[in-house]
Structure 1
Amino acid sequence: MLNFAGVPAELQAAPQHSWEQFEASVLAQQLTHPRDLLPASISAETFSLQLTRALVGSEFIAKTCAVRPAYLLEQIASGELFEAWGEDALAPFAAAIQACTGDNELDACLRRFRQKAMIRLIWRDLNRQDSMQSITAELSRFADTAIALAADYHYRALQQLYGTPRGRESGEAQPFMVLGMGKLGAGELNISSDIDLMFTFPEGGETDHPSRSVGNQEFFVKLGQRLIKSLDTITAEGFVFRVDMRLRPHGQSGSLAMSFVGMEDYYQTQGREWERYAMIKARTVAMVGGEGAVQRERARQQLRSLLQPFTYRQYIDFSAIESLREMKGLIARQVQRRGMNLDVKLGEGGIREVEFVVQVFQLIRGGRDARLRQRKVTVLLPFLEQENYLPAGAGSSLLEAYIFLRNTEHAIQGYQDKQTQSLPTDAVGQLRLAWVMGFDSWEAFSAQLSLYRQRVNSEFKAVIAAPDEEDSVDQKALDFWLGFWEGSLQGEDALQALQAQDVEQAEALLKAIGDLQQSRAVLAMQASSRSRLDAFIPRLLQTLSQHSLAGKLAPLTMAPVFQRIAPLVEAIARRSAYLVLLVENPTAIQQLVRLCAASPWIADQLAQYPALLDELLTPESLYSPPDKDQLRDELRREVLRLGWDDLEGHMEALRYFRSAHALRVAASEVSGTLPLMKVSDYLTYIAEVVLEHALQLAWQYMVARHGRPTHSDGRVDEEPDFVVIGYGKLGGIELGHGSDLDLVFIHNAESACESDGQVAIDNLTYYTRLGQRIIHILNTQTISGKLYEVDMRLRPSGNSGLLVSSLVAFEKYQMNDAWTWEHQALVRARVVAGKASLGKQFEAVRYKVLTRARDLDELRREVADMRRKMRDQLGSGAKSERLFNLKQDVGGIVDIEFMVQYAALAWACQAPGIIQYTDNIRILGSLEEAGLLDADSVSHLIAAYKAYRSTGHRLALQRQEAVLEGENHFVEERAQVTAIWDRLIGRP
């Protein structure tokens, strides 16, 4: 039946093999051969050509039909494969779902119809039987139907258990509403797309069951969970749609379903600009339950009225341009950082840029012009040109490019039914894509694709480009500095020219310039990149000169700062887009010089992770650290487009997030805009937000493979019954630059039970693997380095103990077997991520352990012995009397920490308030308030502790160890700390 006329030889073997497997399956299952099922409207030759194209272009079709040939045969016999869906096309789907009598039957039925629908849509797409617009509309229609049918089934099932949810004020039965976002909302769903959803309901209240009533929110959360499971879970028959709920209010930490009041409050008080962008395409794709059609329409209109003021301003909102420029910058940085230029969606000139062009006008003018609230890009592009929002020809040009890009995306995704937009890099894959798209060669296809992407990018830049700024660079000064770089000024002439400009260490600067010129990275540069470097270096030297003359490099001169920046130049020599960024943004060069002059650590970070140069573009954010909620929101936006199965993408996003904010901390610290305590707070917040996401990422991984842990009473863990405990500097909210993380993992699962997935494992193994996955996410060395070094030695029994302990086992160990130094460590322990209720239980155990009455003489002896051992092992000791190790030597940081820990263990039984906090400063304050330590001692200890830590931070940013040379460092502070130690604990 195959017809390989016009098919390249390299593409023939696989479809031929697939066809032979299909025929074998037809024979084995005693089914009718497709040639005997063809309707009169299609000839055998036409079918043969279509079949060949489908098998060449889609491995998904080939493999699915080889296993389940009936899926294709049914659609051939009915003629459905060869015609557009009519109004009743999905009626059999609805009837089959409504006939289901159990969840397993429902899920299997959804997946069977999904497989058949995908075969049909990919077939028709590859054979161009329908336009791109029709394919996306039909797929969206199928998604709407699948969501509505599954939601209705689960609504009725929950109604049997809990009754009907009714409004507190109205008494009416409440409908469950599903909002489709993104391409689903626009009715432009692509092949193998995930679906972005939100769940809402009009009114709070409770169900009307006489004995098992629950709150409306609980009812609809359960409904949402069941709906997601039916759509998203991968079974032997695949999945229906990958479901992404992260666009809902508060993201993944928010409730799965929210009432209208809650939605309105969130968007009025906390809604972000990027959420306006997302809300443009929001559409009610399903509504089940309620009082009937009239009430449902009323609810639909009420929700639209609630969301519209947030999405569309009632004035021409040119302020939206700035936020869109920021979003554009975020997209560009993600593309650059992740090497996504092969991505036809997110890469330069890709699908996202076309959508962006449209949404710029929607956000700016949609409040005034309701016609702009249309969701479909293909409808809006001609309208924008017609109404002169876009120049003549631009709308039609973008539409042509958009259709080509979307067809390319479908061809990529339809091959294996995978959610990817990346162009193939292997020769056969490239040839296949080119042939499917109607080209004889990859070169011809690639040339056409490049043309369209250039066209898109040009229009994109024209729409949201920043206004031209006056060139603030002195051209004569640039010419002067260019002479040193290009070699027209050399030797004695160069030296005299620099000296005439009052440049100190002129010889060292000339040598540094020469070393960079002769470096391997610079010598290997291509001509185009070298021209960009030639534009950058004079600007760098000019900026260095200006800062030097203004005294901003003190105590350094131009030469050492240039030497610090040179490794960065070498690092970006082959990625000249960064050179363009610096050349076109004088502000970025100024910040680069300022920060590298202040800290070699910052210079090293930039050289190691050049993507951080993006942070220099916006000094207002560089020197204005966000709070913890803002950090969460920023990370949420960073990972919004990543599926949970994209572990590598999440790990890279987390590493960039941590590095970018570490840079902001350092920048704020060296500039004096952030005091010591705030520096540690900020570094600790970063770690906590990263740990929260790592836990969620690990949980999603485990759920996908093993389901969720269960309990003997039938409950299932909808969230991990697990907490991450931070010890040491993390627990004490005292992280520094480069600090590792001391962690302990605790769970509260029943060990005798197991998970509910197809590959079930016992709960203890489940949570152990969860912990291992978290460590893998944090510790793995990627191209962007490690997130954090993780130290798990403080867990019960140390390295010989279980990686994850139950709360009961942890309590037993702490009460019966733990050493005194382990109780000292517990003073600084706190929950940093995980289940809130389990966190409270941990706090109760910590309280119980720390408030035990102790023999004070024995406690003093044990604390002093441990301190002596640490000092002997880690302090300066006899190495030099002129050295002072800030942390380990007598009178240093650890002496203060040990005194705080001793006091907490000694007196918590009589004053429990002293262990409320885990940081040394507040514990010291609590000791004074409780009358356990005199005010002078507390004041001396706090002042010394802050001074030591501040110096330690400064030394870290200068890449120096926390060891001071000389006899005059902290003489008074050390004496005061030592005197207090002798009074409180004494020497062993």
Structure 2
Amino acid sequence: MPETAIAGARRFSFYLERLFQARPERLAELEAHLQQPFTPEEMAAFASWDTLDGADALIGALRRLRQAVMARLIARDLAGLAPLDEVVTTISQLADFSIVRAEAAARASLARYGTPTGEDSGDAQQLIVVTMGKLGGFELNVSSDIDLIFVYPEDGETTGARVTSNHEYFTRLGKEIIRIISETTADGLVFRVDMRLRPYGDSGPLVMSFAALENYLLTQGREWERYAWIKGRAVTGDAAGLAELVRPFVYRKYLDYGAYGAMRELHAQIRREVARRDMAANIKLGPGGIREVEFIAQVFQLIRGGREKRLQLKGTRETLAALKAMHLMEDDAVSELEAAYDYLRRLEHRLQYVDDAQTQTLPETEDARRAIAHSMGAEGWDAFMAALNVHRRHVTRHFEQVFFLPTENAPAHPLAGLWRDIRENGETDPAPALARLGYEDAAAVARQLAALAGSQRYRQLPATSQHKFDALLPPLIEVAGGLAQPDATLSRILALLEAVSRRASYLALLTEYPQTLQRLAQLCSASSWVSGYLMRHPILLDELLDARVLYASPDWDRLAHELDAGMQENAGDAEAQMDTLRHFQHAQVFRLVAQDIAGMWTLEALSDELSRLADVTLAATLKYAWLDIRSRHTDTPRFAIVGYGKLGGKELGYASDLDLIFLYDDVHADAPELYARLARKMTTWLTSTTSAGVLYDIDLRLRPNGQSGLLVSTVDAFEHYQQSEAWVWEHQALTRARFVAGDETIGASFEAIRRAVLCQRRVPEALAAEVVAMRARMRESHPAVDSDVKNATGGIIDAEFIVQYLILAHAHKLPALTANTGTIALLAVAAQAGLIAPTLAADAQAAYRHFRRLQHASRLAEVRAVEVDDALRAHYRQVAALWDTLFAGTGAPQT
């Protein structure tokens, strides 16, 4: 097998044949080690590197090492023993090894200058050799240049016998590194070195300080350099310091959809150069080539990497895997790109194995074509080209889907002239055209558009942003005109556009993805709350891009895992973790409201989903707030969150507060203080306004002894309070309480306490009097008004009080009433047990559903009062009738 594999490799590679003829020892090495990959340990043992006599000795040893590595890679790859990962990893490890050795040897050759020292810190300075391109991504090809940039931390001077500036010292050092690696000798070279990616290119200084690099990136860094620096990786020196400096330049904190235009233009330049030089046969730069796969991966990194640290990766393959894991591309699309990339890169290596030449161009001679085809497992050139073209077509299709022509470059919209006339105060009255589009008060809409065109905010937009704004408005005018409430819809859209217009990236998102405009208009038409939510959180416009995701029923286990991954990425950065929680919660709320408007959820099911969202968010908050407490005595707190009210009853709405209490069961001496700190930290994490907005408002007044009580309670103290000190209204609240997050053992203890308290025997008459009296006290601060379905006589609170009374009065003989299944379900339980008449129960259930729907609709429409009609009054009477039946003789009747 080794002899056959080597013989086949020699026939295929002229370079390998020449090498074995010139260096027979390389052949002997290969025969002995063909079955094993070339490891970094073997590179380190290849020579006595530390004892080599100067840079010239290193030059020879490194070239002999490269010969050995290349011989084994070529033979193993062509024999099918080395997958792509082994090939690109091994050659990248060789480059890293060579750079490190060259830097050490170059530094030794400059010993007369002493140690370069920072003028501010006084610390010794080391050159940072930054690898870019495929080496930066650890995906180097076998005959590639290596793209390098030289950086050093601080200016200053050296301390040796010959004093010089740090800049001059590191310039000499850089030149010597380049010579050691790239100088051609009888044994060839190690790698060609390309320094053109450095600031200012060939005309710039060879080395640059942190301060100079930062100034360059801030003031002159171009979009293509952001793309290049994605792969920037320090091989020597202060890698962390370099990353901290470069990261803000590459990765924006917001979703940067402006990157599409820059990447598209860069690709267009490449395409023009390919056409000019007739390079269609180039598998790197030609259509469907390697570069297009890289562009697809990297545009997602540029757009989302600032928010999603999981995308701050160097390699193309690992980035594609992340896109699949994060569901940013369809699985089939990523699989096709991964397969194409693997095929194209293996083909690239075979083209380079022939003569150890940096080429990506398909051969023209029959013999060369036959050899390449057979090396790729094809019977002949035609079969090979058919397989290659399948992969190229896949890449091209996915590239065009990602980089399709945006709205701003499309033909002018039919209403572009209407908007232009409004902007330029044309003589044509726009009102008739607006009326034909469906607007009800066309003259008022025309005035609003004119006011927008004349506003300072619009006129002060940068030219590129104003161009995008102008491209967006005509289709939005058209879409809004065809929806319900067209005038209000357009008004909401205009307010949103004005709010986001200062962030060019959001305008770019809408122009890059014109299919989002219809979804945006429909949501704004359906709810003023939604448009306001988008104005507060414009980053959610991103959610409009993929209808599959927007309208997919939530998989809470997967979503909880994704949230946990995001929190782990920001470990140690509490502010970033708070923002992660907010981005997650806002995105899920937005998806649910879009699904709600689309009619995908009943009101009860929607409340369940919003409650599950709160549960997941609270669980993550608890976990990571605790890990942020440094003096904690355990990594897993004996602590639990209990939800009351709407959270406890799984009846949350979009903007509901969370009623919470905190329990712990821990005998450690520091437990009371630690868990009090945890409760305060969680409160801060949940309620603080950050750059990402607000998470939840919370109410802690239902804890034992209310506002005067401890922020956290032991399980025993909570049980004692509920059994001995709690008021009836607190037991009423307990009917709608449940364990939400934290220690499940404490959760089980809470549920046992809850059931025991609810199942206590009570005097029905005394209980009824307490419930009626409590309801009367509530009316003193919240009068009964028919337009307020919550507080109206016979409204939501009355229905809930009825159920709470039934639980407290009868749970001792009917434990099924303690199940926290909601008001509607518990009315059915009571009716089936004969506690209330079935017809009264059914009427109250229907009424309660009606009230909840009206309340939900009023919140989406952002109106406080509901319209009072005969149906609503009838439902009030139905609940009031049940109230009178239960509480007759205990106080004023409800009717």
8 Å Cα contact 1:57-1:126 kept in structure 2: no
Q: CA deviation at 1:608?
A: 1.4
- 1:758 equivalent in structure 2: none
- 2:507 equivalent in structure 1: 579
8 Å Cα contact 1:725-1:830 kept in structure 2: yes
8 Å Cα contact 1:477-1:542 kept in structure 2: no
- 1:608 equivalent in structure 2: 536
1:479 and 2:479 equivalent?
no
- 1:656 equivalent in structure 2: 583
- 2:478 equivalent in structure 1: 542
- 1:973 equivalent in structure 2: 875
The 3 A distance-change label for structure 1 pair 358 and 617 is closer
- 2:819 equivalent in structure 1: 916
- Amino acid across the alignment from 2:319: F
Q: CA deviation at 1:745?
A: 0.2
Q: CA deviation at 1:829?
A: 0.7
8 Å Cα contact 2:434-2:446 kept in structure 1: no
CA deviation map 1:830-858 (0-9, x unaligned) = 01100111111111111111111111111
1:737 and 2:639 equivalent?
no
- Amino acid across the alignment from 1:615: E
- 2:835 equivalent in structure 1: 932
CA distance in 1, matches of 2:347, 2:533: 43
Q: CA deviation at 1:332?
A: 5.5
1:706 and 2:631 equivalent?
yes
CA deviation map 1:882-927 (0-9, x unaligned) = x431001110000011111111111111111210225222322332
Q: CA deviation at 1:983?
A: 0.9
Alignment of 1:403-414 (within 5 A): none
8 Å Cα contact 2:489-2:525 kept in structure 1: yes
1:774 and 2:689 equivalent?
no
CA distance in 2, matches of 1:854, 1:332: 65
RMSD over aligned Cα, in angstroms?
A: 4.4
CA distance in 1, matches of 2:323, 2:654: 40
8 Å Cα contact 2:843-2:875 kept in structure 1: yes
Identify which of 434, 452, 457 aligns with 1:516: 452
Q: CA deviation at 1:976?
A: 1.1
CA distance in 2, matches of 1:127, 1:842: 69
8 Å Cα contact 2:406-2:514 kept in structure 1: no
CA deviation map 1:168-213 (0-9, x unaligned) = xxxxxxxxxxxxxxx9xx999997789xxxxxxxxxxxxxxxxxxx
CA distance in 1, matches of 2:746, 2:172: 53
The alignment partner of 1:749 has SS state of coil
- 1:819 equivalent in structure 2: 727
Alignment of 1:220-619 (within 5 A): 334-335=304-305, 338=307, 351=314, 356=319, 364=335, 383=349, 464=399, 466=401, 475=412, 477-487=414-424, 489-490=426-427, 493-499=429-435, 503-545=439-481, 548=482, 553-554=483-484, 556-557=485-486, 559-619=487-547
- 2:884 equivalent in structure 1: 982
Q: How many residues are paired up?
A: 599
The 3 A distance-change label for structure 1 pair 595 and 984 is same
8 Å Cα contact 2:510-2:516 kept in structure 1: yes
CA distance in 2, matches of 1:695, 1:633: 15
Q: Percent identity?
A: 32
The 3 A distance-change label for structure 1 pair 127 and 384 is farther
Q: CA deviation at 1:678?
A: 1.4
Q: CA deviation at 1:496?
A: 3.7
8 Å Cα contact 1:631-1:686 kept in structure 2: no
The alignment partner of 2:741 has SS state of strand
8 Å Cα contact 1:652-1:784 kept in structure 2: yes
The alignment partner of 1:720 has SS state of coil
Identify which of 706, 713, 731 aligns with 1:798: 706
- 1:212 equivalent in structure 2: none
8 Å Cα contact 2:116-2:124 kept in structure 1: no
CA deviation map 1:637-674 (0-9, x unaligned) = 5445x232111111112111111221222222222221
- 1:725 equivalent in structure 2: 642
Identify which of 800, 808, 818 aligns with 1:905: 808
CA deviation map 1:313-337 (0-9, x unaligned) = xxxxx9xx9999999887566446x
The 3 A distance-change label for structure 1 pair 187 and 479 is closer
The alignment partner of 2:820 has SS state of coil
The 3 A distance-change label for structure 1 pair 192 and 918 is farther
Could you tell which deviates more after superposition, 352-361 or 838-847?
A: 352-361
CA distance in 1, matches of 2:613, 2:294: 26
Could you tell which deviates more after superposition, 628-637 or 570-579?
A: 628-637
CA distance in 2, matches of 1:955, 1:936: 29
- Amino acid across the alignment from 1:356: T
1:693 and 2:620 equivalent?
yes
8 Å Cα contact 2:106-2:177 kept in structure 1: no
TM-score under structure 1 normalisation? 0.54
Q: CA deviation at 1:529?
A: 1.3
Q: CA deviation at 1:619?
A: 2.1
Unaligned runs of 5+ residues in structure 2 are 1-103, 126-168, 182-229, 242-287, 325-332, 362-394
- Amino acid across the alignment from 1:945: Y
CA distance in 2, matches of 1:639, 1:726: 23
The alignment partner of 2:863 has SS state of coil
The alignment partner of 2:466 has SS state of helix
Q: CA deviation at 1:607?
A: 1.2
8 Å Cα contact 1:124-1:130 kept in structure 2: no
The alignment partner of 2:666 has SS state of coil
- Amino acid across the alignment from 1:749: D
TM-score under structure 2 normalisation? 0.60
- Amino acid across the alignment from 2:747: G
- Amino acid across the alignment from 2:607: S
The 3 A distance-change label for structure 1 pair 802 and 322 is farther
The 3 A distance-change label for structure 1 pair 914 and 586 is same
Q: CA deviation at 1:630?
A: 3.4
Alignment of 1:631-642 (within 5 A): 631-639=559-567, 642=569
The alignment partner of 2:401 has SS state of coil
CA distance in 2, matches of 1:855, 1:323: 75
Identify which of 673, 676, 682 aligns with 2:600: 673
1:764 and 2:658 equivalent?
no
8 Å Cα contact 1:875-1:885 kept in structure 2: no
The 3 A distance-change label for structure 1 pair 892 and 366 is closer
CA distance in 1, matches of 2:469, 2:797: 48
The alignment partner of 1:742 has SS state of strand
CA distance in 2, matches of 1:334, 1:872: 52
CA distance in 2, matches of 1:793, 1:384: 72
CA distance in 2, matches of 1:326, 1:858: 71
CA deviation map 1:799-844 (0-9, x unaligned) = 1100010000000111111000001101111011001111111111
Could you tell which deviates more after superposition, 883-892 or 725-734?
A: 883-892
The alignment partner of 1:706 has SS state of coil
The alignment partner of 1:885 has SS state of coil
Q: CA deviation at 1:588?
A: 0.5
Identify which of 554, 567, 573 aligns with 1:626: 554
CA distance in 2, matches of 1:739, 1:52: 61
CA distance in 2, matches of 1:643, 1:665: 26
8 Å Cα contact 1:564-1:600 kept in structure 2: yes
The alignment partner of 2:430 has SS state of helix
- Amino acid across the alignment from 2:416: D
Q: CA deviation at 1:974?
A: 0.9
